[in-house]
Amino acid sequence: MHRVFEQASDLDEIGRIIDEQLHSGALTNEEAGQLGANISTAMLDPVVNGWFDGSWEQVRNENEIIIPADQVTHERNYRPDRVMTRGGQAVVVDYKFGLGADNRYAKQIAGYKSLLASMGYTDVKGYIWYVSLGRIVEV
């Protein structure tokens, strides 16, 4: 599922990517069907659906946020799973597929939000999406 989300900017692309994985042999018919069903269930959440509804001006998946050397902290990798922008609004999402929450994830999202705000985005939101748990945490 993570591979699909990291390649897709909207719902149409999700379907295309699943089809590509099926035809390439990366997924069996059963796996593709189950993956599609799981994603369809996830999209029932209005927050998640809004991330993939095609209304964003720009969607960046797995792109590194590059910062000036004098601002680098102990964390060297700033690569959120998904950043969506529209006007002065930015939303950052990190997908988690394990069955446990961890406080460091919130700190990571807060750092991404701070970086996006420093880029001039005035309305910045951040989320941790625990996909397997069906839970979204706003940071």
Condensed to tens digits (0 to 9), the pLDDT of residues 32-89 reads: 999 999 999 999 999 999 999 999 999 999 988 776 656 655 556 688 999 999 999 9
Please indicate, yes or no, whether the overall pTM of this predicted structure exceeds 0.85.
yes
121 in Cβ contact with 90 (< 8 Å): yes
Q: What is the C-alpha to C-alpha distance for residues 14 and 105, in angstroms, rounded to an integer?
A: 25
Distance of CA 124 to the CA centre of its chain: 14
Going by C-beta distance under 8 Å and a sequence separation of 6 or more, which residues neighbour residue 77?
Answer: 64
Of 94 and 77, which is predicted with more confidence? 94
So what's the pLDDT on residue 103? 79
Q: What is the C-alpha to C-alpha distance for residues 138 and 136, in angstroms, rounded to an integer?
A: 7
Q: What is the mean pLDDT of residues 17-40?
A: 95
Cβ atoms within 10 Å, residue 21: 18
Which residue reads 């706003």 in tokens? Answer: 138
So what's the pLDDT on residue 100? 73
